Chain A
Amino acid sequence: MRKKGKRSRQLKALLLFGLTLTLVLMLIVATVGRQEFNTPHKLALEVLGSAQSGVSRVGGFFSTFWRNYSSLIGVREENERLKEELRKYKAATTLYREAVATNVRLTKLLELKETLPSPTLTAQIIGKDPSQWFKTLIIDRGSSDGVENGMPAVTVEGIVGQVVNTSPHYAKILLANDPNSAIDAIIQRTRIQGIIKGNGSGFDLYYVLKNADVSQGDELVTSGLGTVFPKGLLIGTVSSVTRSRRGMFQNITVAPAVDFSQLEQVIIIMKKASLAE
């Protein structure tokens, strides 16, 4: 019995050795030979390839799922962060735009300052008249800066008004469109003289005779008389001319050159002290 079992094991070992040797020989022959997959190779590849493909797909699915899930965790925070960044950039853009606008405005003021004869002072408007009846402004320059009553205030576009009250660091300006304001003016084209008075929103030109040559679109400038405003500063443009049957004078309305509602800065034209003073 024991001999029979031993022979059987020897036979199995012999068969296994023979099979392995055969496969090795087949592999060597196939490798050295045509370098192409034979049918068993192809069959094995097909089967394993399908399995690989399946596993890869499932793995890919789970991998993608996990990646999407894990990335979702940070999305809310990232979204908030991006929104915050967007807000910051928008605020920065607004600041830059404002800076550019201020730069343009100040450049124009500087150009005007260089053309004006007397020494000038730039002032910031810090308050406007709360009443419906009067048109005044408060500026951040006062008597300690050399501002005095009667000094004219102008912008690049034209005349603004004149200083009526001062304190050491602030001053009040009566706007040219206030009903209590009166400025001596001339029509630039025909050199006809008149008095510009404010009517709350714009100007009226008074004391221009009916036979005087005035037409719509004519520009008015300061005459230099009255010693408040220097000669030649733009006041506005004639917007309508009416010649009524009664009276000696024409009814002329003038559109201001300056938009009084948009004022931010003004230039105060300082007076040179005369020798008599």
Chain B
Amino acid sequence: MLIAIFLIIGTLCLVLQTTLLHGLPAWMGQPDLLFLLIVFAATHLDLFRGAVLALLLGLLMDIFSGIFLGLYPLTYLLVFFVLKGSTRHLAFTDTLHQIPLIVISYLFANGAIYVITSILAPEATLSWAWGNMIQQIIIMSVVCIPCCSVFRWLQTRMTPGSGSSFMALGSRPANRFKS
């Protein structure tokens, strides 16, 4: 259920990115909302659910971006596992703490796309533009605060164990002390 909800959210983010966000002024860049969801999945979801979500979102991204099928699932899974491994013992659950994580992982993901594309198409002349990259990082750092808050709110509502869960409402016994 949680995966389905986040998949729908990811699809909506992707549709936004490919349509309305292209109309933003150039100085505002194009915030990669889908990537924020991947980072959130790596820090807040368990290994299985997070990996499945990263894979599905990567497959979706493949449809709308680039020409190498499999590039985004591979990159997103790579980012997911690296983040999962590196943040296992670190408290990166707070929204503000996620900003440095997003900056580093965004650079890592773009580096991965650059390297993989260069291997797949050596004749293609990709250019690493630091100006655009820094602009994107700043935009992502700003956008991640509201986005991660929404994602976390959704996760809290959808998790069966949490007090305010949608799913738990119907199944909760009247007497909470009753076994």
Please give the residue numbers on chain A whose beta carbons come within 8 Å of chain B beta carbons, in ascending order.
Answer: 126-134, 136, 138, 164-165, 172, 174, 178-180, 182, 197, 199-200, 204
> Which residues of B have CB within 8 Å of A204?
125
Assess A130 versus B14: contact at CB under 8 Å? Given A199-B127, A200-B127: yes
Asked whether, in the complex, the Cβ of A130 is within 8 Å of the Cβ of B67, the reply is no
Cα-based distance from A163 to B17 in the complex (angstroms): 21
Assess A131 versus B65: contact at CB under 8 Å? Given A126-B19, A138-B18: yes
Asked whether, in the complex, the Cβ of B14 is within 8 Å of the Cβ of A133, the reply is no
User: Chain A: which residue is nearest B14 at the CB level?
Assistant: A130
User: Chain B: which residue is nearest A127 at the CB level?
Assistant: B18
User: Chain B: which residue is nearest A126 at the CB level?
Assistant: B19
> Which residues of B have CB within 8 Å of A130?
14, 17-18, 21, 30, 32, 34, 61, 64-65
Asked whether, in the complex, the Cβ of B66 is within 8 Å of the Cβ of A129, the reply is yes
Most buried by A among B18, B123, B127: B18
User: Chain B: which residue is nearest A129 at the CB level?
Assistant: B65
Complex A-B: 21 CB contacts under 8 Å: A127-B15, A128-B18, A130-B14, A130-B18, A130-B30, A130-B32, A131-B65, A131-B113, A132-B129, A132-B136, A133-B66, A133-B110, A133-B114, A133-B117, A134-B65, A136-B66, A165-B67, A172-B63, A178-B67, A179-B125, A197-B124
B-side interface size class? 20 to 34
Asked whether, in the complex, the Cβ of A136 is within 8 Å of the Cβ of B125, the reply is no
For the complex of A and B, list the 10 residue pairs with the smallest distance between their C-beta atoms, beginning with the closest.
A127-B18, A130-B17, A134-B66, A179-B124, A131-B65, A180-B124, A128-B22, A129-B65, A179-B126, A130-B18
Cα-based distance from A174 to B124 in the complex (angstroms): 13
Cα-based distance from A145 to B39 in the complex (angstroms): 39
Assess A180 versus B121: contact at CB under 8 Å? Given A127-B64, A129-B65, A134-B65: yes
Please give the residue numbers on chain B whose beta carbons come within 8 Å of chain A beta carbons, in ascending order.
Answer: 14-15, 17-19, 21-22, 30, 32, 34, 61, 63-67, 110, 113-114, 117, 121, 123-127, 129, 132-133, 136
List 14 other contacts, CB 8 Å, given A130-B18, A132-B133, A138-B18.
A126-B19, A127-B18, A127-B19, A129-B66, A130-B61, A132-B110, A132-B129, A133-B110, A133-B114, A136-B65, A178-B67, A180-B124, A182-B123, A197-B125
Asked whether, in the complex, the Cβ of B125 is within 8 Å of the Cβ of A138, the reply is no
Asked whether, in the complex, the Cβ of A132 is within 8 Å of the Cβ of B132, the reply is yes
Cα-based distance from A129 to B21 in the complex (angstroms): 11
Asked whether, in the complex, the Cβ of A164 is within 8 Å of the Cβ of B67, the reply is yes
Out of B21, B64, B129, which one reaches A138, CB within 8 Å? Answer: B64
Nearest-neighbour CB distance to chain A for B21, whole angstroms, equals: 8
> Which residues of A have CB within 8 Å of B64?
127, 129-130, 136, 138, 172
Nearest-neighbour CB distance to chain A for B146, whole angstroms, equals: 19
Asked whether, in the complex, the Cβ of B136 is within 8 Å of the Cβ of A174, the reply is no
Nearest-neighbour CB distance to chain B for A46, whole angstroms, equals: 78
Cα-based distance from A227 to B179 in the complex (angstroms): 74
> Which residues of A have CB within 8 Å of B133?
132
Asked whether, in the complex, the Cβ of A174 is within 8 Å of the Cβ of B67, the reply is yes
User: Chain B: which residue is nearest A182 at the CB level?
Assistant: B123
